[in-house]
Structure 1
Amino acid sequence: MKAPAKINLFLRVTGRRPDGFHELVSLMCPVALYDNLTLTPAKQGIHVICGHPDVPEDASNLADRAARLFMETAIHESFPSVSGLTIQIDKKIPVGAGLGGGSSDAAAVLTALNRHRGYPLSTAALMELAGRLGADVPFFIQGGAALATGIGDRLEPFSHLTSWTALLVYPNVAVSTAWVYKNLNLRLTKDEKKLRKFHFKGRFFNVAEHLVNDLEPVTAKAFPVIEEIKRLLLAHGAAGAMMSGSGSTVFGLFETPGRAKSAYSALCDNQRSQNWTLYVADLLIHRPVIA
């Protein structure tokens, strides 16, 4: 299975709920940067294998949790169950980067197991399972660009997005999403929103006008490299640049793959001197067609 990364093209935090979670409005889009997962039936137990030092190989791994949840549900629903599974993850999406790699891996496991067992669970049932694992997991089940509301769990496909190529720059700084939200000043965010509120209904996304991320100031204050990367991307031809999610990856949007590749070449010196990792990836704006 190929599990794509995602970027947030728009992220507004609209409030905080009594349970501590934050309400938001976010336009998310998968991009063509993938983790590769190989699932192999085993006699018993769930086993995760991944060579990345920051990826756990125990039950705390979201892919592991996804497999266990699917199997428990399959047994409960009297569907044929898988007795065991080995999940091998070839990790290409950086960890703690705001690109949703763990959530995408979990979605890939759910999708693969459901397909392997002959689709015992409906799409709605699979989305419900995904929501129990994390707010971003249903997005990867659905595929394509989507407008997320609530805590990110209410999804509406977004068709008003044109093709772009992204240059992703990961400064090799892992950021805790929980820490970012804890340090978010919601009052200042609301004040700014009075001036820059965007209604998505029936409107095409405009890069120059609508790239907004309420979490960016929090992460950028702790890691000034965020602003440095944005300046470089804009200086090398990006139509717009912004941090994705809670960070630390910054992306620039380019009108053509050629322009993105030219910027990639120009930024390679910084990559070598500052240990940055760069990726050129097209936006995957359409929902995949599953046979």
Structure 2
Amino acid sequence: MITNPLCVKAPAKINLFLRITGRRPDGFHELVTLMCPVALYDTLTLTPENEGLHVVCGHPDVPEDEFNLAARAARLFVETAFPEASRPVSGLTIHIDKTIPVGAGLGGGSSDAAAVLTALNRHRGNPLSTPALMELAGRLGADVPFFIPGGAALATGIGDRLEPFSRLPTWTVLLVYPNVAVSTAWVYKNLNLRLTKDEKKLRKFHFKDRFFNVAEHLVNDLEPVTIKAFPVIEEIKRLLLAHGAAGAMMSGSGSTVFGLFKTPGRAESAYSALRNNQRSQNWTLYVADLLIHRPVIA
């Protein structure tokens, strides 16, 4: 697949806005969500091998077999980009250095898969266009296409229809992971869609040509479901707000909670305060910047 080792970084993401708008006959949920990458990264090293496809990761909850999303991405790329007669025959080992927590609502597995697709495509001379690569990513999972172009985006449908969104203040975020892994499938299964529809106030058009407003837009329909099972999420929100966050919310289906801070200094002060809080000894904290704009790739 490759001739020399490739090292790529895969960023986490947060959901700054998440509304569930319906459920399709196939069981997938329709939604409107504003996602933004953050500067918290997994590091993937792709190393050529004589044969086979292997995954190496020290995290106990990350599979090292064909069910790993990054491995599935590599296999799907080769099968799609090259006719069988010209398909690369050499193997690949994907080493994943996990920093993004697993089951945390930060999209780490999806980002890893997108990073593999992008790295292999670039290494092989871009046989797939960006739209084609995003279509391929969509076969792996609803969040994977978001990570292909980079930058903040408003997602609709099941998360597969993306529009770039640059009208975000340059906050610094403090991410707090309470070391509780949450099953996304479980959260959606327990979502009361009737109640979320009754309470719905915002729709996609409210974002058009407007800057994101914390007081108005910081919403997550999945948060009440996860809080019922893990009340620590509500506790973390209170602490973040008490230590100067302009807003605080759970990301995705959880369990990570993020606080938005106007300056890096305020975020670092809150980090120190929470670090010294006896209750937070089992939590993992990260300070990171929003990656609002799509990267420029030469």
Normalising by structure 1, we get a TM-score of 0.97
CA distance in 2, matches of 1:121, 1:84: 20
CA distance in 2, matches of 1:30, 1:191: 30
CA distance in 2, matches of 1:240, 1:47: 42
Q: Does 1:96 align with 2:103?
A: yes
Q: Does 1:263 align with 2:270?
A: yes
Residue of structure 1 equivalent to 2:195: 188
Question: What pairs up with 1:1-291 in 2 under 5 angstroms?
Answer: 1-76=8-83, 81=88, 83-193=90-200, 195-197=201-203, 199-270=206-277, 273-291=280-298
Q: Secondary structure at the residue paired with 1:172?
A: coil
Distance 1:82 1:266, change over 3 A: farther
Q: 1:82: how far off? A: 5.3
CA distance in 1, matches of 2:89, 2:273: 49
CA distance in 1, matches of 2:159, 2:258: 21
Q: Secondary structure at the residue paired with 1:60?
A: coil
Q: Which moved more, 1:245-254 or 1:76-85?
A: 76-85
After TM superposition, the runs of 4+ consecutive aligned structure 1 residues lying more than 4 A away are 77-80
Normalising by structure 2, we get a TM-score of 0.94
Stretches of structure 2 that go unaligned for 5 or more consecutive residues are 1-7
Q: 1:273: how far off? A: 4.9
RMSD of aligned Cα (Å): 1.4
CA distance in 1, matches of 2:142, 2:86: 26
Map Cα deviations across residues 127-178 of structure 1 (whole Å, 9 max, x no partner).
Answer: 1110100011110001000000000000000121121100000000000000
Q: Secondary structure at the residue paired with 2:50?
A: coil
CA distance in 1, matches of 2:278, 2:18: 27
CA distance in 2, matches of 1:23, 1:233: 30
How many residues are matched? 290
Q: Secondary structure at the residue paired with 1:178?
A: helix
Structure 2 residue identity aligned to 1:264: Y
Q: Secondary structure at the residue paired with 2:82?
A: helix
Map Cα deviations across residues 257-289 of structure 1 (whole Å, 9 max, x no partner).
Answer: 110000000000237754100000000000011
Distance 1:95 1:12, change over 3 A: same
Distance 1:237 1:112, change over 3 A: same
CA distance in 1, matches of 2:86, 2:233: 48
Q: Contact conserved, 2:39 with 2:290, CA < 8 A, in 1? A: yes
CA distance in 2, matches of 1:155, 1:71: 25
CA distance in 1, matches of 2:88, 2:274: 49
Q: 1:74: how far off? A: 2.5
Q: 1:109: how far off? A: 0.3
Stretches of structure 1 that go unaligned for 5 or more consecutive residues are none
